[in-house]
Amino acid sequence: MTASLIAGLSGIAMTDDERRFYRDVQPAGVILFARNVADRDQLKRLVDEARDAVGRQDFLVLIDQEGGRVQRLRPPIARSLPPAAVYAALYAQDPERAIRAAFAVARLTGEELRAFGITMNCAPVADLPVDGSHEIISDRAYGSTVAEVVALAEAVAEGYLASGVVPVVKHIPGHGRATADSHLSLPVVSTSRQTLSETDFAPFKALAGLPAAMTAHVVYSTIDAANPASTSAIVTREIIRGEIGFDNLLMSDDLSMKALSGPMRARAEAVIAAGSDLALHCNGDLDEMRAAAEGVPALEGRAAERFAAACSCISRIEPYHKEEALQLLAGLQGQQTPAV
């Protein structure tokens, strides 16, 4: 049975212990980071190793390849990508061109990811930053209004879908107002629910049809003062599944982030109990991964259906004009057309 877990790896090749873990636990997927990448051939081998260890077709290979600060694959292994803020700046001048560029670059990037066997990208960011918020989002956001964030994030998601890569919209129901970095501490947002509904939650509501989403390690004190969204059944039920209307595959943000506390098994149990379909563990610590695996159930019922629906997107690959896409990317970068 597939476990409700996405796990990491420690380095550029699987250890024997990691291979046994993946074989025995059968996680839903693996997530890759820069520490897992040395060169193109090595990356392909590592992905193949992980797939061989689990021996399943429905095994997702994830990465964070947003662009800008957050891209695990960089030249010469993969193209350099602009941050979301570049699209936002173009949108202010030429919305149609910005939307075309967002789609085209995502389509290019998806093709690149698929060449390595990567099938899910933790992007786009649909968070809406506000004045005074922490810089953890800043240039990762596609603008400062709901309309531009929705238009550009949707184009990015469609670009990935057209390349057979599953987009994971994040950080639902919204990280843009947080005044702390959830990698380091637990942000608390005390804004009224009405304001949150009109701003932070609105992009995710407009994007609720996307196949996958990642939760935010943020406390919304006017909704549930005791728990961050990732471990809050109230936020998941009333906001994410309810008001926002997102009924597709839901995964937590990284269990090993410092916004969460307590033993790793308890963290995994908490995100699943709150309503996430998958628990995400990223840092590659095998002991922590084993503990997280003990805290998650087999993927079944509605969660299994959502997982299968997300996996079905991988078979969707549509033709596109690659040269035009490369020209749009070059325009964003302010340089000559990059090499194919």
Token pair recorded at residue 90: 């173009």
Which of 17, 24, 52, 183 is catalytic? The answer is 183
Q: Is residue 229 part of a domain?
A: yes
Q: Is residue 76 part of a domain?
A: yes
In the chain, count H helices and then E strands: 12, 13
DSSP, collapsed to helix, strand or coil, labels residue 243 as helix
Which residues lie across from 228 on neighbouring strands? 219
Cβ atoms of 80 and 74 within 8 Å: the answer is yes
Token pair recorded at residue 2: 């597939």
DSSP state of 338: P
Residue 132 exposed, middle or buried by CB count within 10 Å (0-12, 13-18, 19+)? exposed
Token pair recorded at residue 83: 């941050």
From first to last of its 340 residues, what are the pLDDT tens digits of the chain? Answer: 999 999 999 999 999 999 999 999 999 999 999 999 999 999 999 999 999 999 999 999 999 999 999 999 999 999 999 999 999 999 999 999 999 999 999 999 999 999 999 999 999 999 999 887 777 888 999 999 999 999 999 999 999 999 999 999 999 999 999 877 778 778 899 999 999 999 999 999 999 999 999 999 999 999 999 999 999 999 999 999 999 999 999 999 999 998 898 999 999 999 999 999 999 999 999 999 999 999 999 999 999 999 999 999 999 899 999 999 999 999 998 743 344 4
Q: Is 321 a catalytic residue?
A: no
Q: Is residue 338 part of a domain?
A: no
- Write out the H or E segment, with its range, that includes residue 187: none
What is the spatial distance between Cα 275 and Cα 285, in angstroms, rounded to a whole number? 25
Q: Is residue 340 part of a domain?
A: no
Q: Is residue 95 part of a domain?
A: yes
Q: Is residue 253 part of a domain?
A: yes
Which of 139, 253, 254, 277 is catalytic? The answer is 253
Q: Is residue 225 part of a domain?
A: yes
What total number of domains does the chain contain? 1
243-260 burial, b if ≥16 CB within 10 A, otherwise e?
A: bbebebbbbbbbbbbebb
- Which residues form the domain of 316? 3-333
Q: Is residue 272 part of a domain?
A: yes
Q: At what angle do helices 95-115 and 146-162 cross, to 10 degrees?
A: 40
- The DSSP line for 118-182 is --EE---B-----TT--TTTGGGSS-SSHHHHHHHHHHHHHHHHHBT-EE-EEEET--TT-SS-T
Residue 292 exposed, middle or buried by CB count within 10 Å (0-12, 13-18, 19+)? buried
CATH number of the domain enclosing 206: 3.20.20.300
Q: Is 183 a catalytic residue?
A: yes
